[in-house]
Structure 1
Amino acid sequence: MTVTEPPAAPAPAAPAPTPRLAARTSAVGGSPVRDILAVTARPEVINFAGGLPAPELFDADGMAEAYRAVFAEMPARALQYSTTEGEPALRAALAERARARGLVTSPDELLVTTGSQQALSLLATALLEPGDTVLVEDPSYLAALQSFGLAGARVVAVPGDEHGLDPEALEELVVRERPKLLYTVPTFQNPTGRTLPAARRAAVAEVAARRGLWIVEDDPYGELRYEGERVPWIAAHPGAEDRTVLLGSLSKIMAPGLRLGWLRAPEGIRRACAVAKQAADLHTPTVNQLAAARYLADRDLDAHVRRVAGVYGERRDAMLAGLPDALPDGSVWSRPEGGMFLWVRLPSSYDTTALLPEVVRHDVAYVPGAPFHAGEPDRSTLRLCFVTQTAEEIAEGLRRLGTALRA
């Protein structure tokens, strides 16, 4: 009897490749700041790279008491879904703070966001089609460049000087490029620390009104002033009322871990952003909103901000005092009246991106300036954050920086 062998099983087919990722994710890339923070996480590194508020200045006791009160009085509500627009108590408190600073605002004009970074993403979704043009300052906030890039926008830098963008250059670009919006951080800008003067703010509002342009005015640092007089928002100027989206945040004045921001916008764009938010996260965490509202009701946030700003001013002074000895001859730097950042330009022969590994080997770090530029980067620039370290740590960090640059 002949036994027939069963036919050999066919070799398994190679699995088909998975579909490709969206091109925009590889075109935009990650955050160089986050990459630097990962490399410099060693405790011995004095890190001027991050944009982190000083944690020892957080009012942890006040926030803990606010959370305890919320859970004692309304636990079911705190743990439940909320409205997309935000908790009424928090919106009312934020509207009152805006009114106290010269901008008539009702709670219904506000949309609470999960950090002001989400507000940028919502605006990009609501306003931008692939190929639309966005105008930004030069240099500009890195995460805004990422948000607009992910939306497929074409980002164009507006020329300026040590005081900020040039309104005449802005108008020329609006006529030539026909952009959808201008994005600006006019007060204590990230990364330069500069503040746009009042006359230029009025001129920007006038250009936007006459030429048809959205203004996105980002103000995460404006309350951290420790020198000089407050400059009114662009949103408060005639001509800007119906075309300015003002972004605010509790990250720098209370705590970034709350992830609480907001946008103030005309009705149409606010509704569009609410639809985008429903698709993104439905609503910002209820318990964090209620705790923040309770804190604002029970505590004096303005007094807390004055305390924080006072400490930050001392740390800015410590950095300004140490820069002349640390930096090579021919360097220039900004002198901010508030905020968290200082901008440095070394002589043109220096490339701060190429120098960074050597600097990190000396246990100190900065952020190279190149990623903050939408156009041709200035590779001799760098950003320093002065708020996270003590005056003594700042002095030692600058000593290390000077040694590294001389090496």
Structure 2
Amino acid sequence: MNAARESDFAYQAVYRYLTQLIDEPGATSDFRLPSLRQLAERLGVSISTIQYAYALLEKEGRVYSVAKSGYFARAATAIKPPDQGSDLLETVYVNARYSGMRVLSADDPAAVQPLDGPLLMLERELMRQYPRQPQVLAQPCGELELRTLLAARYTSSPTHCWHAEDVYIGADTRSVLEILIAVLELRHATVVVESPCDWVILRLLQSADVRIIELPLQPGGVIDPEQLAWMLETEPVRLVLLSSQLNMPNGSLAPQENLEVVAGLLRRQGIWVLENDSYSELRDDGERRPLRELLDPDRLLVFSTFEKVIGVEAPYGFVLARQWRDHLQRHFLLRSFRLSPIRQRAIARLYATGRVDQHLPVLKRLLKERRTQLIELLREGLGDALHFDEPQGGATIWAKSSRRVAMGAVFQRLLKQHVLIAPGELFSTQGMHAQHMRLSAIGSSGPELAGVVDLLGDALRLAPGD
């Protein structure tokens, strides 16, 4: 056992020595590295240890071998990613759009099977059907046809019913949430959010100087009602933000009985609830009763987007709210969203004709196949190095390192190898989830995905302890 630890330490030390050689400034072209024998003598280790360190670097694409000539380092300029900046989220955003990056963190479920073809076909048909329409009154809150359809789709009973005037459609989820922050006067107010939480939501709340209290989800997506009750009793909470059913990035579905207990608590406290319904249609199981049907509809707002199911051609976000009608209409009017009326009608027709409902089982099956493939590769290549619960839907896996590591070092190492993960710290404002990462197989498959998983395993093994 001691010999094994010494061997592990030796190859890691050799690896670090070689990376420093490779990263030395000034190299503008590929250059030759010391031979196996030279390094073994210089560092006082075996040739096999040197060979293993070189093999790791070769797999990462940082060195290459030439028959009868030895190993050569690729110049740093050849593999340097784009300007990263000092902000972690900015770094993730910039590099996700870098052409040479293998993204192992994408949360774009519709990308595996988008509905852009049928959507654009319907749009062309509508344009032929309504050529050169006379100027009509602007509908700042969205096209009536689409708002009517959404109201009907979200209505489940005479009590939990919605009408077109309760629905507001914006350019995207971000702009809709910005309006909600303004209408609900959340600046400097206290908001409870489930954690982990989507980083877009967290950043928007932070930018508005909202005081965020994070409610960590328990295993299986369970919400601790006692902890929530304590927060509501001891803090001036203005709003609670929870998932409707499927929490992402956790990929968990809270048990129905847990939702009922939490909903009862929220009803008794009379707290405003903002329900995130962006991922509900991507859950694996059948029908479940969403959180909103357990709450007081007059103290409830629901937001979602079409993009997760239809794709990037339908980026619009929307919100349902019975109250605040005058304020919401005024803010949507002031925003003056210039949304395509034809595109909105085409989206409405996709739903009305049943095309979306036919598409959902196919999309969910493909997403589950991608997740299963990634999970098998992670278990095969990393063993016990990562822990994760089987996701109950969506495109991503919420994984935790089994040993405490400096996740920033893992992130930076992978970035140099043109692999992008989403560190868990992005999904918290209070330092939670430092040992987590969000992974997905949306951007890679087959042998390429296996190679990326190997690099992830190496990065975790070589990372210093936290």
Counterpart-to-counterpart distance in 2, 1:40 and 1:117: 19
Of 36-45 and 80-89, the range deviating more from structure 2: 36-45
Tell me the distance in 2 between the aligned counterparts of 1:53 and 1:130.
Answer: 32
Q: Deviations over 1:273-328 (max 9, x none)?
A: 22222222346432321221233344521111111111001011111112223436
Q: Name whichever structure is richer in helix by fraction.
A: 2
Q: Deviations over 1:32-66 (max 9, x none)?
A: 45532422544453212222235351133311211
Residue correspondence of structure 1 range 11-50 to structure 2 within 5 A: 32-33=88-89, 35-50=91-106
Aligned to 1:151: 208
For residues 365-391 of structure 1, give each alpha carbon's deviation from its aligned partner in whole angstroms, at most 9, with x where no partner exists.
210111211323332111113334335
Amino acid at match of 2:327: A
Per the alignment, do residues 164 and 32 of structure 1 end up closer, same or farther by CA in structure 2, a change over 3 Å counting? Answer: farther
Q: 1:215-294 alignment to 2 at 5 Å?
A: 215-226=273-284, 228-237=285-294, 239-266=295-322, 268-282=323-337, 284-294=339-349
Using a 3 Å threshold, how does the CA distance of structure 1 residues 377 and 62 change in structure 2: closer, same or farther? same
Q: Which has the higher contact order (CA 8 A, sep 6+)?
A: 1
Provide the residue aligned with 1:375 in structure 2. 430
SS of equivalent to 1:156 = strand
Task: Give the match for residue 196 of structure 1.
Answer: 254
Gaps of 5+ in 2: 1-84
CA distance in 1 between counterparts of 2:213 and 2:110 reads 33
Structure 1 residue 175, shift from structure 2 partner: 0.8
Query: Hey, what's the Cα distance between the residues in 1 that align with 2:125 and 2:161?
Result: 30
Q: 1:116 aligns with which of 145, 161, 173?
A: 173
Q: Which has the larger radius of gyration?
A: 2
Confirm or deny that 1:347 pairs with 2:382. no
**What displacement does 1:357 show?**
1.4
Question: Which of 455, 458, 463 matches 1:400?
Answer: 455
Aligned equivalents of 1:47 and 1:60: distance in 2?
Answer: 22
Does the 8 A contact of 1:368 with 1:379 survive in 2? yes
Equivalent residue letter for 1:311: L
Please state whether the residue corresponding to 2:308 is helix, strand or coil: coil
Cα distance in 2, alignment partners of residues 399 and 378 from structure 1: 23
CA 1:319–1:79: 2 relative to 1, 3 Å: farther
Q: How far off its partner does 1:31 sit? A: 7.7
Shift of 1:396: 3.2
User: Partners of 2:201 and 2:235 in 1: how far apart?
Assistant: 19
Q: What secondary structure, in the 3-state scheme, does the structure 1 residue paired with 2:274 have?
A: strand
Amino acid at match of 1:253: V
Whether 2:329 is the aligned partner of 1:329: answer: no
Structure 2 counterpart of 1:136: 193
Question: Letter of the aligned partner of 2:430 in structure 1?
Answer: G
Matched, 1:97 2:153: yes
For residues 318 and 33 of structure 1, the distance between their equivalents in structure 2, rounded to whole angstroms, comes to: 27
Q: Which amino acid aligns with 2:390?
A: R
Structure 1 residues without counterparts, runs of 5 or longer: 1-28
